[in-house]
Amino acid sequence: MILLDGKAASAALRGELRPRAEEFLKRYGRRMTLAVVLVGDDPASKIYVENKRRACEEVGIRSLNYFLPAETSEGEVCSLLDTLAEDSRVHGILLQLPLPAPLEAERILAHIPTEKDVDGFSAENIGNLIQRLPCLAPCTPSGIMELLKRNGICVRGKRAVVVGRSNIVGRPMAALLLNADATVTVCHSKTVNLREECVRADLLIAAVGKARLIGADMVKEGAVVVDVGMNRVNGKLCGDVDFEAVREKASYLTPVPGGVGPMTIAMLMKNTCDAAERSVRNELFRKIQPISARI
Ligand code: GUN
């Protein structure tokens, strides 16, 4: 079994982004900028936000962090997002999820404009993804595609099984795999025989949030197995895959931690670079347009 090392792939990708951030600063005299908004004090979210801040620093992206108390009203969060949306110096906006009750993500996320939606959660980005049009794609599934690519794993024609149908991972994962010509099955809590579906997979993606749900009996000999799970069991981080059992059957397997997690953050950096570069291209286009109209 070969470990799919997300730490190494993420470091390589971040290294490739650094010159893009430098070039942007040199050309336009300002830094690429990512704004991160955290509402409340969920301990896991705080760690994620800190990791994102550190990744920005390493790549050379300016990060603006907004920490709002859990009691912040929907109107106040939306008003901050509107201000960031208006600010041409901000290229990417991320609202850390989950939001504390009673805040509802769906309505609030709609205040992040598509071109700054570096999480790739907006209806327009998801719609474009499904139609294979240019978009900012959600970071965890696109990070998985990048990790596979960097390890020379081609998904074309492969039978891919995605376990989990969340908006953040399962659904966009299925779309990216389909766009890459895999034959895709999505399993979920109502799937009749999960084991039977999983054992047919050449590529198995586990994204359900249930510790060690995927045992060796659910994995085909030689399958590629990607574990998106981040579960706490007795204080220890543990994936959706029973690592010790599945390592005997899989050809490639992601560790938890050090697999998918670092790729998510690296792809967020990539989306921010893409959004920043696109914003200046659009700015230039808007400036040029009146001239070409005169001709
Ligand atoms: N919470 C867990 N994963 C994510 C993510 O990818 N983006 C945001 N914004 N929040 C998350």
- pLDDT for residue 36 is more than 90: yes
Residue pair 284/177 in contact (Cβ under 8 Å)? The answer is no
Residues near ligand 1 (Cβ within 6 A): 94-97, 119, 139-140, 168, 264
Q: What domain count does the chain have?
A: 2
pLDDT at 256 over 80: yes
DSSP, residue by residue, the chain: -EE--HHHHHHHHHHHHHHHHHHHHHHHSS--EEEEEEES--HHHHHHHHHHHHHHHHHT-EEEEEEE-TT--HHHHHHHHHHHHH-TT--EEEE-SSPPTT--HHHHHTTS-GGGBTT--SHHHHHHHHTT-S-PPPHHHHHHHHHHHHTT---TT-EEEEE---TTTHHHHHHHHHHTT-EEEEE-TT-S-HHHHHTT-SEEEE-S--TT-B-GGGS-TT-EEEE---EEETTEEE-SB-HHHHTTT-SEE--SSSSHHHHHHHHHHHHHHHHHHHHHHHHHHHHHHHHHHH-
- Domain membership of residue 274 (yes or no) is no
Host domain of residue 75: 23-113
Are both 143 and 246 inside the same structural domain?
Answer: yes
Asked if the structure places residue 84 within a domain, the reply is: yes
Confidence at 284, pLDDT banded by 50, 70, 90: confident
Q: Which atom of ligand 1 is nearest to the CA of 97?
A: 10
Give the angle subtended at the CA of 126 by the CAs of 284 and 280, to the nearest 5°.
10
Question: Same domain for 156 and 237?
Answer: yes
164 and 225 both lie in a single domain: yes
pLDDT attached to residue 5: 98
**pLDDT tens by residue, 191-212:** 999 999 999 999 999 999 999 9
pLDDT digits (tens, 9 = 90+) for 63-78: 999 999 999 999 999 9
Query: In whole numbers, what is the pLDDT of the chain averaged over residues?
Result: 96
pLDDT higher than threshold 60 for residue 46: yes
Q: Do 81 and 42 fall into the same domain?
A: yes
pLDDT in the model for residue 265: 98
Regarding whether 109 and 161 lie in a shared domain, the answer is no
Q: Is the pLDDT of residue 282 over 70?
A: yes
Ligand 1: residue of 97, 118, 142 to mutate (most ligand atoms within 8 A of CB) is 97
Residues 89 and 176 in one domain: no
Q: What is the pLDDT of residues 122-145, one digit of tens each?
A: 999 999 999 999 999 999 999 999
Please name the residue whose Cα sits nearest to atom 9 of ligand 1: 96
Residues 145 and 229 in one domain: yes
* Cβ contact 136:271 at 8 Å: yes
pLDDT band at 287 (very low <50, low <70, confident <90, very high): confident
Whether residues 102 and 146 fall in one domain: no
**11 located within any domain:** no
pLDDT of the residue at 292: 60
Active-site residue, selected from the candidate residues 5, 117, 119, 274: 119
Closest listed residue to residue 226, CA positions, set 244, 239, 210: 239
Shared-domain flag, residues 66 and 148: no
Q: 233 and 168, same structural domain?
A: yes
Domain containing residue 108: CATH number: 3.40.50.10860
Mean pLDDT of 42-63: 97
Q: Is residue 5 part of a domain?
A: no
Is 236 known to be catalytic?
no
* CATH, residue 200: 3.40.50.720
Residue 2 lies in a domain: no
Of 78, 113, 148, at which residue does a domain stop? 113
Which has the closest alpha carbon to 122: 105, 109, 107, 140?
109
249 is catalytic: no
The pLDDT of residue 293? 62
Is the residue at 123 inside a domain? no
pTM beyond 0.85: yes
Q: State mean pLDDT over 159-171.
A: 98
Q: Which residue, of 113, 131, 159, is where some domain finishes? A: 113
Q: Which of 5, 96, 116, 240 is catalytic?
A: 96
Whole-number Cα distances in Å, 215 to 45, 199, 200, 219: 28, 10, 14, 7
Question: What's the whole-number mean pLDDT along residues 32-61?
Answer: 98
Residue 256 and residue 152 share a domain: yes
Q: How confident is the model at residue 241 (pLDDT cuts 50, 70, 90)?
A: very high
pLDDT at 19 (0 to 100): 98
* Residue 156 falls inside a structural domain: yes
Q: Poorest-confidence range of 30-34, 143-147, 163-167, 232-236?
A: 232-236
Active site annotation includes 131: no
Residue 276 lies in a domain: no
- Same domain flag for 161 and 228: yes
